[in-house]
Chain A
Amino acid sequence: MSSPTLTKGEAANPAPSSKEPAEAPQEAAPPSALARFLGNPKTLALLVAALVVVVSALVTGDGTWPRSLTADVESPLNDLDNWLVDNRDSHWIFLYFLLHISNFAQAAYDTLLSLLESMSYVGVIVVGTLIAWAAGGADRSRRALRTGGTALAVFVVCGALDVWEPTMETLALMIVSIILSALLGALLGLASGVSDRFEKILRPVFDTMQVMPAFAYLLPLVLMFDIGVPSALIATVIYAAPPMARLTSLGLRQADPTALEAATSLGADSRQRLLTARLPLARKQMMLGLNQTIMMCLSMVVLASLIGAGGLGSEVYEALGALKIGDALVAGVAVVLLAVLLDRTTAAAGERLDDVATTSFSRAAAQLRLAVWGGIAALTAVFAAVGTAVAGDEWPENWVVDFTNSIDTAVNWFTDHLGSGIPLLGGTITWAEGFTEIVLNPLRNGLQTTPWWALALLVAVIGWIVGTWRAALTGVVCLALIGWMRLWDVAMDTLSQVLAGLVLTVVVGVLVGVLCARVERVDKIMRPVLDTMQTMPQFVYLIPVIALVGQNRTGGILAAVVYAAPAVIRITAQGLRHVDPAAMEASNSLGATGMQQLFGVQLPLARKSILVALNQGVVLVLSMVVIAGLIGGGALGYMVVRGLSKGDLSQGFPAGIAIVCLGIMLDRLSQPAAKRSRD
C-alpha cells in the first residue's frame, strides 16, 4: 500500500549505494551492500517509518483524521459567499476598485470580439495569415511561407469544422490576455532584472506559482469577480505572466557581461545601458518567454470555460459533460490547431531574431517589413469597416464538413469491439477496470486505512531524507491542513491516483527518454510529437481518453501520464545527452557495452536531471488528475470542478486549498535535489 512511496524514496538513493562497493573492490573487505544500506541512518529511518506505516495500518484498520482536530470551514465560507453576493454591486471595494478591473476586462474582450466579427471570416483569415507570414519574415523564404500557410490552414479547418464562432471567442480572449500578461510579465521581469531586491521578492512567488495547478487561480477570482469573462481573463493574465517575467529577468541578467562592460567603458549611464545593450541582448529570452506565456494563456483560456469563459473550451466542456465525444473532439482539434498556430508563429518570430545576428542590414528589406505591417493594419481597418457587407457575418453553411457523427460512430464501434470482450486480451475498458481494481483500489484503501500519524511520519522522514527538516515540516503541515478541513479521505483518494500516475509517468518517461537519448531515429520521431504535446492545453487530453477507456479514475490517470510524460521524457533525454562526453568516450575506449555505458555512466551522471524530471512529473500529474475530476476521476478534482461551475464556494474552495497543499507537499518531497542542481 505504501509501496509507491517507498520506491520513490529509494529512487533518490540507489545509485551510490549500489555502485560504490563495485568500484572499490580492493580496499580491505568492504562491508556488504546490505550492511552499508542499513548502516546509513537515513535509509534506516525510512525503513522504520515504512514498517510503522504497514503495521499500524494492519492493526488499526482505520486512518481517518480525528474529528476533534477539524474545523467547520463550510459555514464561514457560505457566509462569505452570501456576503459577496449581497455586496458585489454596492460595497466600496467593488465599486471603486474591483468593478473597474472587471469592467475593463469585459470591455476589452467585447471590443476585440466585435472587431473580429465585423471583419467577417474572410477578413480574419486574410489578416491572420498575413500576420503569421510577416512574423515568419515577410518574404518568400520557406519559413515565412510555412508560417503563413499554417495560419491559413488552421483558420480554414476551424471554419470547416463548424467551430468558427467559438474559435473567434477564444481568439478574442487570447489576444487580450496575451497582450496584458506579456505587458505585466515584461514589467515585472524588467523590475526583477534590474533590481536585486525585486528579484528576491518575486522569485519565490514565481516558484510557488509554478507548482500550483491551473484552476487554483480560478477559485479566488470567482470569489471576487463572480463567474464570467472578467474572472477568466484576469486568472489567465495572472497565470501566464510568470514565464515572461522570469525569462525577461533572466535575459537581462545573462546579457553578455563584456558587452555591458564595453557600454560602461564608453561612458553609458545605467539608463543608456539598459536601453541600448541589456534589453536588446535579452530579446531572445524575452521571445522565448512570450512563446511560453502564449501557450499558458491558451491552456488557461480553455480551462476557464469552467467559470464561464465561453469559446472552444466550453464547447469541449459541455460536450464532455454530455458524453458527446464527436463534438468534444472537433472542438479539441480546433484548440490544438490554435495551439500549433500560435506556437509556430512565435517560434518563427524567435528564429528571425537569431537570424538578425548573421545577416547584413538592408534598407530595402527594412522598408519592406515596415510596409507589410502598415498594410496589415490598413487591411484590418478596411475589413472592419466593410467585412460583413462583403462576405456576410457567418461562416457559409455549405462550407462545413460535419465529422461529429462519423466520430461518434467510430467511437461506438471502438467501445463495442475493442473496449472489452476481445478473447484473451480483454480490451481497453477491461484493462482500465483491471487497473482500477488491482492497483488503484488497494492503493486508495491502503492510504485511507493508514493512520494519519503514521502517514505524517512517513512524509516527514521522506522530506528529511530528500531535503531538509524544512521540507519535512512543510509536508506535515500540508497534510495537517488537509485533515483540519475534513478532507482527509477524499484527499487520500486523490493522492492514490497521483501516486499511481506518477509511477507510470516516471517509468514511461525515463524509458522513452533513454530511448530518445540513445537511438537517434526514435529521437527524430519523438521530437515533433513531444513539441506538439507540450503545447496542447490540458483539457484536450481528456477527450481521446474517454473514447478509449470511458469515464473513470483510470481514464484520468491515463490522461495524466500522457500529459506529464513529454516533460519527463524531454528532461531525461536532455540529461542523458548532456553527460560529459569525455566520460562517455572514456567508457567507450575501455570497451563498455551499451548497457554498461547506460547504467555505469549515463544514468548515474544524469541523476540530477532525472530527479528534476520527477519533480516536474509530480506537478503535471497532480494538475491533470485534478482536472480528470471532470471525467469521473472523482475526489478533490470533482469537488473543485463542481464548486467552480456551480459557484459553490464552500465546496470548491477547501478542496482547491487541499489540492494546493498536496501539490506543495509532493513538490517539496521531490524538490531539494532539483534545487541543488539549480545552485
Chain B
Amino acid sequence: MSETAEATAAGEHENAHEHGDQAGPAISVRNLWKVFGPKADRIPRDASYAELSQSELRERTGCTAAVRDVSFDVHQGEVFVVMGLSGSGKSTLVRCLTRLIEPTAGSLEFNGEDVIGMGADALRELRRHRASMVFQNFGLLPHRTVVDNVAYGLEIQGMAKAERRERAAEMVAKVGLDGLGERRPGQLSGGQQQRVGLARALAVDPEVLLFDEPFSALDPLIRRDMQEEVIRLHREEGRTMVFITHDLSEALRLGDRIALMRDGEVVQLGTPEEIVANPADDYVRDFVRDVPREQVISVRRAMRPAEGAEAKTGTEVAPDTLVSTAIETVARTGEHCRVVEDGRLLGVVDHASLLIVVAGLDKDADPEDAAPEDGTEREVAAV
C-alpha cells in the first residue's frame, strides 16, 4: 500500500510541472448551497436557519439542505476526494459542479469561469468538452457496443463517425479492454463495464474528471484493480479529478486532499495525513479510528531533534516517507533514520518515536484514544 501512496505522491509532483502554466484552481466553489423542498432559496439567505440541524430544518421548513455552505478549491492536477457516508450530500455536491443538479446559492468557477451564470449552450459546451463524469451504476447504453458507448460523448459533440470510432478504440485500449470493442455492455463484468464508463469519460479529453462513487458497486478485488487503474491514469495524464466515495480506505489511497462531509457540510479538508493525524472533531476522529496510522502518517510528524552523534549516522529518508516504510528500515538496520530534505537534516526517527505514531500516542491524537488497540498491535507485528 505504501508503494501506491508514494506513487500518488510522485504523480502529484509530475502534475505540478505539467499544469504549472495554468494559474489558479481548476474548480473554485464558494458558499455553495443545495436545498430541496418548498421555497428552497430562502434557506441560504436567512442566517437564522444556518444554526439548525438537518432534522430541525426539515421540521421547521420542510426543506432538506443536501449541501450547506460548502467552499473549497480543487487545484490543477490533483485528485480531490469528497468523502462521507450516504446522505451526507456528496453525490449532490458533485452533480452541482456541472449543474446536473442546479445549486440553490453560491458561486462556482471552472478555471476562473463562472458556471452559475452560464446559459444553456455554454453549459452544454462545459459538459461536452471540459468536465465528464463516471457514475456508480455505469449508465451505459445496453443496445450499443463498447466502442459506440465510448464514442457516445463524441457523437453528442457532433464528431464524424469514423473519427469518433477511431478515438474511442484508442480509449478502449487505454483502459485495458482491447479486443472487447464489439461486445455489448451486458456481456461484460461489472469492472469491465466501469472501464467502459471511464473510457467514455476520457474520450472527450476533459479538463476535469468527476467520479461519483464509481467503484461502490464492484466487489473488493475488482475495486482495488480499478483504483490502481485510476492511479495509473492520473500518473500518466495528470488530469484533475474529483472523486466521490464513502470508502475511507479508497479516499486515503487516491486522494491528494480529502474533504470530509457530514450532513451537507464539509467538516474537515486536508491531506490524508492531516485528517488521520489531526482530526478536526470527534466525528472525524471516530471515522479514522481504525485507519492503520503508520500507513498514512509520514516521518515528518514522528521525528524528534537529533541528539549528539545521531546526526551523523543512520539511513537517510525523505520527510514524506511513510512511518511504515521507516519502521521497515529501522527494523532492518537496527538503528535510527535521519530525516533529510534537500541535504538538510530535519530530525531523526527511532523505534520509540515510530511506535508512538503506531500507538496513536503522538501529540495530535486524542488522549482518550491513546491506548493502543489490538488491531494496531497486530499491524506492527505484521510489519
Contact = CB atoms under 8 A, between A and B. Distances in A.
Interface of A: 256, 258-269, 272, 276-277, 280-281, 283, 356-362
B143 A356 contact: yes
B50 interface: no
B125 A361 contact: no
A266 B132 contact: yes
A266 B182 CA distance: 22
Contacts of A265: 98, 100, 127, 132-133, 135, 210
Given A262-B135, A267-B127, A276 B155 contact: yes
A358 B142 CA distance: 9
Contacts of B128: 266-267
B139 A258 contact: yes
Interface in B321-369: none
7 A-B pairs with the lowest CB-CB distances in the bound complex, closest first? A267-B128, A262-B139, A267-B127, A258-B139, A357-B186, A266-B153, A357-B142
Given A262-B200, A267-B157, 14 more contacts: A256-B137, A259-B139, A260-B139, A261-B100, A262-B139, A267-B128, A272-B156, A276-B155, A276-B156, A357-B142, A358-B187, A359-B184, A360-B182, A361-B182
B278 interface: no
- A261, A265, A357 pick with most chain B CB within 10 angstroms: A265
A358 B143 CA distance: 9
Contacts of B197: 262
Nearest to A272: B156
Contacts of B140: 259, 262
A283 B100 CA distance: 26
Nearest to A268: B156
B156 A357 contact: no
Given A276-B155, A362-B182, A267 B187 contact: no
27 contacts: A258-B137, A258-B139, A259-B139, A259-B141, A263-B139, A263-B156, A265-B127, A265-B132, A265-B135, A266-B127, A266-B204, A267-B126, A267-B127, A267-B129, A267-B153, A267-B156, A267-B157, A269-B120, A276-B141, A281-B143, A357-B184, A358-B184, A359-B184, A359-B187, A360-B182, A360-B187, A361-B184
B127 A357 contact: no
A361 B145 contact: yes
B152 interface: yes
B186 A358 contact: yes
B140 to A, nearest CB: 7
Nearest to B152: A266
Interface string B73-109: 0000000000000000000000000101000000000
A255 to B, nearest CB: 10
B152 A263 contact: yes
Contacts of B42: none
Interface in B173-218: 182-187, 197, 200, 204, 210
Contacts of A256: 137, 139
Nearest to B148: A361
B182 A267 contact: no
A262 B199 CA distance: 13
A269 B121 CA distance: 9
A272 B157 CA distance: 10
B184 A262 contact: no
B184 A264 contact: no
Nearest to B142: A357
A283 B129 CA distance: 30
Interface of B: 98, 100, 120, 124-129, 132-133, 135-145, 152-153, 155-157, 182-187, 197, 200, 204, 210
Contacts of B120: 269
A360 B100 contact: no
Contact of B185 (A266, A277, A283, A357): A357
Contacts of B124: 267, 269
Contacts, number: 88
A356 B184 contact: yes
Nearest to A359: B184
B135 A258 contact: yes
Given A280-B143, A358-B187, A359-B187, A258 B182 contact: no
A280 B138 contact: no
A16 B74 CA distance: 59
Contacts of A357: 142-143, 184-186
Contacts of A272: 156
Contact of A360 (B127, B153, B184, B210): B184
A516 B132 CA distance: 51
A670 to B, nearest CB: 37
Contacts of A356: 142-143, 184
Contacts of B184: 356-361
B145 A360 contact: yes
A258 B140 CA distance: 8
Contacts of A360: 145, 182-184, 187
Contacts of A277: 141
A170 B139 CA distance: 45
B143 A283 contact: yes
A361 B98 CA distance: 33
A280 B184 CA distance: 14
A261 B182 contact: no
Contacts of B100: 261, 264-265
Nearest to B155: A276
A277 B141 CA distance: 7
Contacts of B185: 357
A267 B125 contact: yes
Contacts of A269: 120, 124
A283 to B, nearest CB: 7
- A262, A263, A281, A356 pick with most chain B CB within 10 angstroms: A262
Contacts of B153: 266-267
A258 B153 CA distance: 15
Nearest to A256: B139
A258 B120 CA distance: 21
A258 B186 contact: no
A450 to B, nearest CB: 52
Contacts of B145: 360-361
Contacts of B138: 258
A15 B124 CA distance: 56
Contact of A261 (B135, B142, B155): B135
Contacts of B187: 358-360
A1 to B, nearest CB: 54
B127 A264 contact: yes
- A261, A266, A360 pick with most chain B CB within 10 angstroms: A266
Contacts of B135: 258, 261-262, 265
A285 to B, nearest CB: 13
A269 B142 CA distance: 20
A271 to B, nearest CB: 11
B210 to A, nearest CB: 8
A361 B141 CA distance: 14
B182 A262 contact: no
Nearest to B145: A361
Contacts of B98: 265
Contacts of B129: 267
Nearest to A259: B139
A409 B144 CA distance: 59
B51 to A, nearest CB: 34
